[in-house]
Amino acid sequence: MHFEKPVRLGDLILLDRERCILCGRCVRFQDEIAGDAVLGYGTRGRNWHIISKSDPPFDSKFSGNTTDICPVGALTTADFRFRARAWELRPVPSICNHCPVGCNITFDMRYQQIMRVMPRENAAVNDIWICDKGRFGHRFVESQERLTQPLVRRGDRLEPATWNEALDLIATRLADIQARHGGEAIGGLAGERLANEDLFLFQRLFRDMLNSPNLDHHCGSPAEPPDDELGVLLGPGSGTNLMELGKGTTVLVIGADPEEEAPIYRLRLRGIADRGGELIVAHTRPTRLEASATHALRYRPGSGALLARALLSLVFAQVGSSKLSQRTPGIAELETAAKKLKLASAAQGLGLDEAAITAAAERIMQADHVLIVYGADTLSSGPSLAHDLGCLLLLLGKAGKPNSGMLPLLPQGNSRGALDMGIRPDKGPGYTALEKRGLSAAEMWGAALEGRIRAMYVLGLDPAAVHPQTHAALAKLDFLIVQDMFLSETAQQAHVVLPAASVVERDGSYTNAERRVQRARKGRETPGESRPEWLVIQDIAQRLSGLIHASNGHDASSRKAGKGKRSERKAASSEEAAVLSSLLLRWDYMTVSDVALDIAEIVPGYSGITHEALGRTGTIGNWGRQTNEAFYYDGTNYENTEGIGIQYPARAEQSNFRFSVKPYEVKPFSGDQRYPFVLLVQKVLYDSDPLLRDSRVLPHVSAAYVALNTADAQRLGIRSGARVRVTSAAGSLELSARVFADMPAGSVLIPALLADAPVAQLQTGPQTRVTVELIEG
């Protein structure tokens, strides 16, 4: 009997009914593990078959996993279908750096081409699952738009040049600017997707070679979150495994939308709820995870800090601060501040029941393990929210314990690595204090306009696209170096553009949100003449060392005095000091692993994290490779034989840990007559990420829109689809409106990083106030 084939379950997944044995694994995966019940059975009898029940069809961000667990190959992805046979593929172990989860993946290569991306089992990170962005979002690697040779500006045009020309030009111009205006006139921005080794060498180039403190990993748009340190100070203790948590665990997810920010966390958190744990989801608007919550809190936009303070005051009332006063200076002040807060007034400010807040606090206090997950909304709403919750953990005595801690969903794949490596103006590698604070990205743009910053090196970032106001600042620069894979908007303004390598074309290590350092391997050659970032940084440094004279050399060792382990040893003899400074001035790394050895030596927290150590396998998980494979089909995912990474310990696990509490003032959110709405910026998984080019998920990237509450929209006469103008004190944007009943009243929501909607243009700070008016509708 023949069936028509293929049957499209969605635009990504196709079904071959002639192979399907109706085992229902895909249906069960969607129901039980992904929690998106979008698949089901259609008809009965001999026409019984798998159907998609959602609109748009197969509306799940985890759809690709069904093809892995299909035992007969009836489900195939549109991406890999018939492109090669599985036995012809060469698996290259790697790390997905699209989001902070850091999923272990395998690039299946055939010669130089990526054929498919498969999950690699790691129980501590992604089990055997990956999201569709990770699976289908790596086609950029083979894009025809990749830069293949260095470009140098001649007149108005960027023209191809050799590496020698480009590097010589960079070295002479940087040395010249440094000699005339000092190191402070040079600024560096490095992206959060680069490997730790790139970032480490980048900060060394600036701090040791150029003598410049101006480093950042942001684009400098107004509402960028402050650098998160709680994830390292109070992060989940070593040995944390979300897979094992269940009864006795309370997870508080506050101001985070894991579905959009870090999809695999949604699977893991709802798994905890499934196994009997308490899952408290607190957000201003509905999120996908809320459906799995045991306790949901919807607070008013802008009042997240109030919720944290209310929870904290309830915990103070129960626990008291006496035990903590020794090691946490400032806790008494915080206690008085917290006790001043009346629960009734807090509940009113939050728009919640008193009982709901108390119930949440009780669930947190009664739990054996407390995990606090916070994301974009929390990070961007000022420092006090996360800080108060950190204090809550300390009060409960959970800080630094396994399976308890603060888990920030940082914006990018290696955001934690960028912070660890000290790509920030105020702290060196490993969060060590610096003598002199540099300029942050936002300050650099101002300084560039004033002529205080003369040259910039932008590595793997595109500030001009994210934050359009930077165009003027970039145009003002005497010298702009951009290293990227594509000719981005920023690169078009550069004096020198250097082609970079993608994650598949180089070795490197990446640090995920839970501080797990993981290693990716090289799978293909770089296209054309492009080269990995760390090699280029080293080349620039080598050329600079001849041009920038020795004066830097001797004060390099003294500047290093505050820098990590090596200096802790306090070089006793001058001989040792000489060896030390020569080591620190080293620019002759042969491989990335050599750089990693130096990171392990220098960066506090990274000791022992060498590439060799990252390659060891420990407890991988218990999905695949069953003892009796005849009975258990384990899917087509890969056994992890290449290393599960190392989670470095949180600071709270150290015996000498001290946490200085800052009693932030928490004010109830007040309205503004001129700008009555609060602007919420939602991070979405499928955004206008340049790395999504050529990908099959591109049709899922939505057009820019602004979301409004039904009541607000009615009042303003706005219908879905109408053109509206959103205006703030900083600027305005024209967008089409979408009206939702479950949006919080008094707020408008714009998805971040969509084409033609540069939200940074509107933002004035963490909680931007805007007004909305109808243009036509």
Partner 1 sequence: MFGELLKGLQTTLRYMFRPPVTVQYPDVKRPVRERFRGRHELKRFANGQERCIGCSLCSAACPADAILVVPAENNLEQPTSPGERYAATYEINMLRCIFCGYCEDACPTNAIVLEHQYELSFYDRQTSIYTKDMLLVPPDQGHGEIPPILTQLGDKRPSPPAQIDL
- Which residues make up the interface to partner 1 (CB under 8 A)? 5-6, 81-85, 87-88
Q: Which is nearer to partner 1, 7 or 774 (CB)?
A: 7
Q: Which is nearer to partner 1, 6 or 286 (CB)?
A: 6
389: nearest Cα among 412, 361, 423: 361
Q: Which is nearer to partner 1, 84 or 442 (CB)?
A: 84
Three-class secondary structure of residue 598 per DSSP = helix
523: nearest Cα among 194, 109, 181: 109
Output the CA–CA distances (angstroms, integers) from residue 157 to 13, 81, 152, 456, in the order listed.
44, 42, 8, 19
Write down the least CB distance from residue 2 to partner 1, Å. 11
Sign of the torsion angle spanned by Cα atoms 410, 411, 415, 419: negative
- Measure the CA–CA gap between 151 and 158, rounded to whole angstroms: 6
- Going by their DSSP bridges, the two strands 479-484 and 508-511 should be labelled as unpaired
- Measure the CA–CA gap between 504 and 575, rounded to whole angstroms: 42
Write down the least CB distance from residue 66 to partner 1, Å. 19
Q: Which is nearer to partner 1, 88 or 612 (CB)?
A: 88
Write down the least CB distance from residue 17 to partner 1, Å. 13
Q: Which is nearer to partner 1, 83 or 173 (CB)?
A: 83
Q: Which is nearer to partner 1, 81 or 339 (CB)?
A: 81
Q: Which is nearer to partner 1, 12 or 296 (CB)?
A: 12
Residue 738 and residue 720 in contact, taking contact as beta carbons nearer than 8 Å: yes
Write down the least CB distance from residue 78 to partner 1, Å. 9
Which token pair is 450? 């004033």
- Measure the CA–CA gap between 699 and 719, rounded to whole angstroms: 24
Per-residue HEC secondary structure of 537-572 comes to HHHHHHHHHHHCCCHHHHHHHHHHHHCHHHHHCCCC
Write down the least CB distance from residue 87 to partner 1, Å. 6
Residue 555 and residue 585 in contact, taking contact as beta carbons nearer than 8 Å: no
Write down the least CB distance from residue 72 to partner 1, Å. 15
Q: Which is nearer to partner 1, 88 or 742 (CB)?
A: 88
Q: Which is nearer to partner 1, 85 or 157 (CB)?
A: 85
Q: Which is nearer to partner 1, 2 or 157 (CB)?
A: 2
Residue 252 and residue 288 in contact, taking contact as beta carbons nearer than 8 Å: no
Q: Which is nearer to partner 1, 139 or 559 (CB)?
A: 139
Q: Which is nearer to partner 1, 87 or 631 (CB)?
A: 87
- The residues with which 117 forms a beta bridge, in sequence order, are 107
What single letter denotes the amino acid at residue 129? Answer: W
Q: Which is nearer to partner 1, 86 or 775 (CB)?
A: 86
Write down the least CB distance from residue 83 to partner 1, Å. 7
203: nearest Cα among 422, 38, 521, 414: 422
Write down the least CB distance from residue 514 to partner 1, Å. 40
- Measure the CA–CA gap between 722 and 425, rounded to whole angstroms: 43
Q: Give every CB contact of residue 631 below 8 A, 6+ residues apart in sequence.
A: none
Give the strand order in the sheet containing 369-374: 295-298, 278-283, 249-254, 369-374, 405-408
Write down the least CB distance from residue 85 to partner 1, Å. 5
Q: Which is nearer to partner 1, 116 or 516 (CB)?
A: 116
Write down the least CB distance from residue 109 to partner 1, Å. 14
Output the CA–CA distances (angstroms, integers) from residue 133 to 34, 260, 571, 767, in the order listed.
15, 10, 48, 29
DSSP sequence for 329-395: TTHHHHHHHHHHS-HHHHHHHHT--HHHHHHHHHHHHH-SEEEEEE-HHHHTT-SHHHHHHHHHHHH
Using the 8-state DSSP alphabet, how is residue 668 labeled?
P
Write down the least CB distance from residue 21 to partner 1, Å. 19
Q: What are phi and psi of 592, to 5 degrees?
A: -65, -35
> What is the distance between the terminal CA atoms of the chain, rounded to a whole angstrom?
53
Give the strand order in the sheet containing 496-499: 157-160, 151-154, 496-499, 479-484, 455-459, 186-190, 215-216
Three-class secondary structure of residue 485 per DSSP = coil
220: left (phi over 0), alpha (psi -120 to 50) or beta: left
Write down the least CB distance from residue 76 to partner 1, Å. 9
Q: Give every CB contact of residue 604 below 8 A, 6+ residues apart in sequence.
A: 429, 430, 431, 432, 564, 565
Q: Which is nearer to partner 1, 82 or 631 (CB)?
A: 82
Write down the least CB distance from residue 694 to partner 1, Å. 17
Neighbours of 336 (CB within 10 A): 11
Q: Which is nearer to partner 1, 84 or 597 (CB)?
A: 84
DSSP sequence for 127-191: BT---HHHHHTTGGGG-TT---S-EEEETTEEEE--HHHHHHHHHHHHHHHHHHH-GGGEEEEE-
Write down the least CB distance from residue 16 to partner 1, Å. 8
Write down the least CB distance from residue 81 to partner 1, Å. 6
Write down the least CB distance from residue 360 to partner 1, Å. 52
- The residues with which 735 forms a beta bridge, in sequence order, are 724
